[in-house]
Amino acid sequence: MTRAKPRLILVDDHPLLVEGLKGMLRPRYDVVGVAHSGVELLALLEHQDADCLLLDLAMPDRNGLELIPDVKKRRPNLRILIVTMHLDRVLADTVMHAGANGFIPKDSGREELEGAIDDVLAGKRYVSARVPNITWSAGLGADNPVLSTLTPRQRDILGMIADGKTSADMAATLGVSLPTITFHRANLRSKLGIDTEWGLVRFAILMQVREGDDHTP
């Protein structure tokens, strides 16, 4: 009796990358689903089961960190391997704490990717050895002059972004409308000079950890 191939779902907003991954992984795995956004992924999980999810962090509607809890609610046994271009140790630790099982660079070779998939399918945790321990870039820290211009509300929102809260979660917690949260997020990106939503999430996570370190006795 032939053993069934492990079933994979691939999630990335770049169709060419997804097609390349499908071709590379097809000999050993069965790609049973593809999604290019968070909305597509959650809709797919309503009717499609799988063994492992390869998830990008920088999605056009909801980032990967926000998606992890919803994925786990729908498919508790689904293993999650983050495949990303953002190689920060803090990001790796954050997504693993949120429920991911592995973290690997997008530019990894076939051998490392297959090894990571096999590890997480076997119940192990995998973080690529190429993820650096150095996480702080120049200008990022509690002494960043831009941070002093943020209002208390903006700082609250930055903290909730770092915790993986969705805009809807923030609106409910703060008792404001969803458009108000959207306005605050856009204003934060403008003040901080950040172009994308994932860039804001990444900054919020790194900033939260840095401030925690700065206040450690």
Domains in the chain with CATH codes: 7-127 (3.40.50.2300), 145-214 (1.10.10.10)
Q: What is the pLDDT of residue 138?
A: 38
Q: What pTM value is reported for the model? A: 0.78
Q: What is the pLDDT of residue 4?
A: 86
Q: What is the three-class DSSP state of 89?
A: helix
**Strands ordered across the beta sheet of 30-35:** 30-35, 7-11, 52-55, 79-84, 102-105, 126-127
Q: Judging by DSSP bridges, how do beta strands 79-84 and 52-55 pair with one another?
A: parallel
User: Picking from 71-85, 103-117, 139-153, which range would have the lowest pLDDT averaged per residue?
Assistant: 139-153
Cα distances (Å, whole numbers) of residue 152 to 70, 147, 149, 156: 29, 11, 10, 6
pLDDT in tens, 16-67: 888 999 999 999 999 999 999 999 999 999 999 999 999 998 887 888 888 9
Block residue for tokens 């009796």 = 1
Percent above pLDDT 90 for the chain: 49
pLDDT in tens, 192-217: 888 888 888 888 887 765 554 443 33
Binning pLDDT at 50, 70 and 90, where does residue 88 land? confident
